Chain A
Amino acid sequence: MAAAVRAIGPARLLFVLAAWLFVVSVVIQTVLVGFSIFAQLGGSLHRDFAYVYGWLAPILVLLANVARVPARLRTITIVLLVAFALQTVLPSLKDQYPFVSAFHTVNALVIFGLGVTLARRATDWVRGLATAAPAAP
């Protein structure tokens, strides 16, 4: 077990952890938007929470480089960062371009899909590393 953890390395474990934390945050963010629409709790919670967990998107790009993850996973982290940046801009376009702004909800699906894909693939990759690690003497 210890040998497997050593073989994976802290940066890779952190990467997987951050990826799953991002997915959980997106789900919480979706609950918050539900509360603001249906329970009239105001949209500020939804907006403010985006700026709290939004840091995970650039952190994932950084960790992907530090942990030397496969190129495909690294690409997903970059696409996720771009999609997240776009997500914060879309609501501000509602007065000039409401059609573009309406894609805020569709982009949320994209972010969720990318997040889950990243987290699952990162988990599978790290599991593979742990399995390939030599057993402790």
Chain B
Amino acid sequence: MARGVIFAVACWLFLVGIVVQVFLAGAGLFKLTDFTPHGYLGWGLPLGSLLLPITAIVAQVDRRTVSLAGVIVVLTFIQPELAAARHTDPLVAAFHPVNALLIFWLSWTLARRATALARPGLRQPIAAAD
């Protein structure tokens, strides 16, 4: 039970991190700041994403949820690489914002699944959280 709560908290914290990161991108685009804060958090989030599958495995959730956490890790590690490709391959780098949408949506889905799993007695109707 406590492990499930830790997994859910990790998922929601990661989602908050994604939203903050997207705000920092907006702050850079609209000249509130430069892109330095966005860049720093962009290298920190992939490390933070590693907690998702680790806490999922520790919480002994189903394989599908662990896989979803794994996909988020891969996409989050790809994300700064996409931005870094702007000098060599700008058309590939252009998918940086689309990948952000994907990471956001999958993280939202994972956070809702983790919350449903953490609630006692709600392990069966997990599909309702999709």
Q: Which residues of A contact B (CB under 8 A)?
A: 26-27, 30-31, 33-35, 37-40, 91, 94, 98-99, 101-106, 108-109, 112-113, 116
Contacts and interface: CB of A to CB of B under 8 A. Distances in A.
Nearest to B91: A39
Interface stretch (B45-53, B58-66, B95-103): B95-103
Contacts of B101: 26-27, 30, 108-109, 112
Interface of B: 19, 22-23, 25-27, 29-32, 83, 86, 90-91, 93-98, 100-101, 104-105, 108
B30 to A, nearest CB: 4
Nearest to A99: B32
Given A94-B31, A109-B101, A103 B26 contact: yes
Contacts of A38: 83, 86, 90-91, 93-94, 96
A interface, by DSSP: helix, strand, loop or mixed? Answer: helix
B30 A31 contact: no
Contacts of A39: 90-91, 93-94
A63 to B, nearest CB: 24
A30 B91 contact: no
Contacts of A91: 30
B94 to A, nearest CB: 3
B125 to A, nearest CB: 15
A102 B26 CA distance: 4
17 contacts: A30-B100, A30-B101, A34-B96, A37-B97, A38-B93, A38-B94, A38-B96, A39-B93, A94-B30, A101-B26, A108-B22, A109-B101, A109-B104, A112-B104, A113-B104, A113-B108, A116-B105
A106 B19 contact: yes
B86 A102 contact: no
A98 B30 contact: yes
Contacts of A35: 91, 94
A45 to B, nearest CB: 12
B32 A101 contact: yes
Given A38-B93, A39-B93, A94-B30, A105 B98 contact: no
A7 to B, nearest CB: 25
B69 to A, nearest CB: 19
Contacts of B22: 105-106, 108-109
